[in-house]
A and B are shown apart, each in its own frame.
Chain A
Amino acid sequence: MLYIKCPHCGMRSQNEFSYGGDATVKRPELNSEVSDHDWDNFVYNRKSLRGKHWELWQHISGCRQWIKVERDTATHEIFNTLKAHEEISK
């Protein structure tokens, strides 16, 4: 069971969280023109990365905040966690 540092609550076990997918996906702006190709990429196309990956988790049984977690998908090592509004630094 992973041990995730919620930036609001501190170290908490995985069973308090729910997984929310790739954190690097950007939703197209409302009312903007989006091509089929770009929209498909936003809705459906995800990379199944092996290694470091920024992903979303929601602390559903805690503060209910969505957070960003940098995790190695192969080793489960967690390197960094950010609040929802904090930008991922590349």
Chain B
Amino acid sequence: MNQKFRLENVGLINRDKKLSFKFNGVAYHGYEGDTLASALIANGVHLVGRSFKYHRPRGFFGAGVDEPYAIVQLFRNGETEPNIKATEQELFEGLEATSVNCWPNVNFDIGAINNFLKIFLPAGFYYKTFMWPKSFWYKLYEPFIRKAAGLGVASTKHDKERYEHKYEYCDLLIAGSGPSGLASAYAAAKNGARVILAEDKARHGGTLLTSDVNIGNQSGKEWAEGIISELKKMPNVIVKNRSQVFGYYDHNMMVMSERISDHLPKTKKFHPKQRLWYIRAKEVLISSGSIERPIVFGNNDTPGVMLSSAAKEYLKVYGVLVGRNPIVFTNNDSGYETAIEFKKNGVDPIILDTRKDPQSEIVDEAKNLGINIKLSYVVVAAQGYKKVKSADISKISDNKEQLGAIENIKCDCICVSGFWTPTIHLASQSGNKTKFNEDIDAFVPGISKQNETTLGAANGSYTLEETLKSSLEASYELSNKITNNDNKISFPNVFEKKSTTHDKFWCVPLPEGKNYKRFLDFQNDVAVSDVEIALKEGYRSIEHVKRYTTLGMATDQGKTSNLNGLQLVSKIENKVVPNVGHTTFRPPYTPVSIGAIVGREVGKHSKPTRKSPMHSWHEKNNAVFVDAGVWLRPRYYKRGNENLFEGSKREAKNVRTNVGVCDVTTLGKIDIKGPDAAELLNRVYTNAWLKLPVGKARYGVMLREDGIVMDDGTTTRISENHYHMTTTTAQAANVLSHLEYYLQLIWPELNVNVVSTTEQWAGAAIAGPKSRNLLQKLFPKSDVSNEGLPFMGYLEGDLFGVKARIFRISFSGELAYEINVESDNGNFMWEKIIEVGEEFKIQPYGTEALSTLRIEMGHVAGSELDGRTIPYDNSLEGLLSKKKDFIGKRSLAREAFVAEDRQKVVGVVPLDKKTSIPEGSHLVKDSKAPLPNPKLGYISASCWSVEHDNPFSLAILKDGKNMIGEKLFVMSPLKNKVIPVEIVSSHYVDPKGERVRS
């Protein structure tokens, strides 16, 4: 197909590079520099989709972010993406796109039946139409709505593209590179400020690309190009195109999405698809311009009805005619500018102007060109289904209420201009209280909340001269405040044609006997009649009207619909618009892809993965890993076809009979130094610490102020004023913050320093009856006998030339030691232990065996210290000092914490000694009692006891102290299990704790 609506010698596209693309399966051509929209219009395609609710045919309405209709499903490099605006998507070779909201296809759409059933789909249809009968909802309404609704289909595949985040700081962030943005950026940059200039579109210049103006001796476009190339050379300026500043957050944090690769057939190697910028700007200049608003008339959603500024942009930027027989329907001079461009390119437009007698340079030019101008005229309704074929037009009375005789004239497009609405989204997001400007019938920013300044058309200033002047001045002053420089830009001569005032007319009355749909919100299919219904039904607040009718709620956020909606509400309610107020603008200004928001933090990268220095050894030796917080830890070391149960049982058994080695590097470690270190420990831990000798370790429990156990671990006195604290893997960061809190805020008089050393030490636990024999061989020069290194003793030793710390502590309940070496020597230590341990039948063991060993010993851990239990509940009350105060002590005297039947940790064994008990199950007295069956406790941890060879669990049980020997039931509704059990002591193995001291 040839591009029969493409003009020769007009536009900024690259005619040397022809691109092929497909829309709804049909092949077309366009040029480099086109958008999908401009290329389709060049090929005469105007039907691009169906509307959201009534499935009416829809075409193009705008030429950029304001586009409410032309939303497509895009296919690029084997991926698909929904909700893409054809007016923003740049054309690339091989682009494919399809319409959304239509099924089976755009030409014959079954949902269009809604258009004839529209009586069933009025305002609030979400809330009332499909409510009854209830059974119909699941079977009929929901599947139908799901099929019919939506703006495309999200891909279910993993997104292979890369997205990045970037943080940046600047003096001035300038959002928008039209005349105001360019002038501001230039003035600030010349004055030495660090500037970021962000442009949403591919081309800089904004309206300078389409207006017939001169700055200095250059056309507006040439001036823009000159400024941009100069800015790009300056080291203090970042110039970005395809970059939308979409959110204004607290403390001048701006977020911008940069579309780096979306305009290319395929993302280049090592390039991201998009980049999200977090920019902290000292000052923000909002030069986001304005968006033309429509005039409301009958069937104003027909393809071929579009904004007059869009028609001009398609012509001037892309060299494309939106029609050969246009009507320009306007209430201001902007429509004339579009008509003049048509005329200059050999097309004869008709202007319908609602005004009676406009007088201005622009109007005079149109007259001189011989354009047919009909004053006091309106378009009553567009005619044609899939494309405008004609228009019903009429004279309108001076009070704008009576129509004259209806005439029908042929046309193939209707270009509408209802004047301009400043784009105040960013200012409003910043917290700026906007005010209504009667002269332009629109809201403009009022008093700035943060360091934001709105300039140019976004501030309601619609002449180039005023825009440039105010922008240069404001930008000079702001940059001068920051840099103290004093370089002023001289103001250039500006030539622009003078315009006259607009007519406040915005909605054409319905002719007698006609019931045309007159749309306010094109994307969500909200018509004048819907808002009328909402108000009749009692909705008053504009926020409620918005939600009930869905006016302004679509992905275009009402860019073209908000003000006309307000006009209607204010007219019916007989209020002035400022009293109706506008709904809140919330970020993002335009849709942002989820990929850009997530950035690189995807899947495994959502958190860092931490590995111990021995990780590669574990890998080589068939470790099956498990996530422990951010750490990867071996769960068990697989031998042959072993499963987790078999492998962990073998490892645990080997610890009980021979010796095992476990990687305990992940434990939190905190170095504590200072003359008051013992005093700090004494206040933080529940037991006494002042008399711990050098070279000894002690087990301690720390509480929160509310008496709940926070963490447990051992702390060792390395030397007079030097302690080494260990924490659980999970609580390492919290414990450090906790200590810092008390040292910095509560007891600053304590002379102590704390620092995390978790990463500095690699740790290996060797446990089992043969662990001393192994230790002696590892440290032949040290006395590691029971006398030389007793339980809870500490030594420094020499491990084949490597300095090591040896702690005699035990988590498994066996005779056990922990060896720490500097992280870099971790793997060396591990290999030596394995090598030397061979003669003692050493086996490495993972977290599963570690759990088994501690559970059957009744040693409480994270599953019991779960943020809900106090020391008593964990049978740790023996560690509560009566003589001294400590953090959380006062809370332990609370009534519930001293109750006679307080919960306590117990052991649980199934009566059949076979059925394993699911963790999280409940303990009840009577398994057949009516619901809700009173719950006595819960299973906190389960294992297969290797010592007794039957299942064993720990539970937190009400009145646990007096329940030993009782028969209860474990119930797991999730696993549909009822297990008769006996309550036993939590110390199922070695209840006297003799082994650790042996």
Contact = CB atoms under 8 A, between A and B. Distances in A.
Interface of A: 1-3, 13, 18, 20, 27-28, 30-31, 34, 36, 39, 42-44, 56, 58, 60, 64-66, 75-76, 78, 84-85
Interface in B666-719: 683, 705-706
A5 to B, nearest CB: 10
B705 A76 contact: no
Nearest to B895: A36
Contact of B280 (A13, A39, A42, A64): A13
A27 B253 CA distance: 36
Given A31-B885, A58-B740, A1 B891 contact: no
28 contacts: A1-B249, A1-B251, A1-B253, A2-B250, A2-B251, A3-B250, A3-B251, A3-B252, A3-B253, A13-B167, A13-B253, A18-B737, A27-B705, A28-B890, A30-B683, A31-B884, A31-B885, A39-B891, A43-B705, A43-B891, A66-B740, A66-B741, A66-B744, A66-B745, A76-B251, A78-B251, A84-B745, A85-B748
B431 interface: yes
Most chain B CB within 10 A, of A31, A76, A78, A84, is at: A84
Contact of B748 (A56, A75, A84): A84
B431 A75 contact: yes
Contact of A65 (B249, B278, B744): B744
B746 interface: yes
Interface of B: 167, 249-253, 278, 280, 431, 683, 705-706, 737, 740-741, 744-746, 748, 884-885, 890-891, 894
B890 A39 contact: yes
A2 B250 CA distance: 6
A28 B705 CA distance: 11
Nearest to B252: A3
A2 B251 CA distance: 6
Nearest to B705: A43
Contacts of B894: 36
A25 B885 CA distance: 19
Contacts of B890: 28, 34, 39
B165 to A, nearest CB: 11
B926 to A, nearest CB: 36
B586 to A, nearest CB: 16
Given A3-B280, A39-B891, A84 B744 contact: yes
Nearest to B251: A3
A43 B746 CA distance: 14
A73 B280 CA distance: 21
A43 B706 contact: yes
Given A1-B251, A64-B740, 12 more contacts: A2-B251, A3-B251, A13-B167, A27-B705, A27-B746, A31-B885, A39-B890, A58-B737, A65-B744, A66-B740, A76-B250, A78-B251
Nearest to B450: A77
Contacts of A76: 250-251
Nearest to B890: A39
A84 to B, nearest CB: 4
Contacts of B746: 27
Contact of A42 (B249, B253, B431, B705): B705
Contacts of B249: 1
Nearest to B169: A11
Contacts of A1: 249-251, 253, 278
B826 to A, nearest CB: 26
Most chain A CB within 10 A, of B249, B706, B737, is at: B737
A18 B167 CA distance: 20
A1 B587 CA distance: 14
Nearest to A23: B745
A43 B431 CA distance: 36
A58 to B, nearest CB: 6
A78 to B, nearest CB: 8
Given A30-B885, A66-B740, A56 B745 contact: yes
A38 to B, nearest CB: 9
Contacts of A58: 737, 740-741
A66 B747 CA distance: 13
Nearest to A28: B890
Contacts of B891: 39, 43
A13 B706 CA distance: 31
A64 B167 CA distance: 22
Nearest to B253: A1
A78 B250 CA distance: 11
A85 B743 CA distance: 10
B850 to A, nearest CB: 30
Contacts of A78: 251
A31 B887 CA distance: 11
A30 B431 CA distance: 46
Contacts of B167: 13
B447 to A, nearest CB: 14
Nearest to B249: A1
A3 B744 CA distance: 23
A65 B740 CA distance: 8
B741 A20 contact: yes
Contacts of A85: 744, 748
The 7 closest A-B pairs by CB, nearest first: A3-B251, A84-B744, A30-B885, A31-B885, A1-B253, A76-B250, A66-B744
Contacts of A13: 167, 253, 280
A30 to B, nearest CB: 4
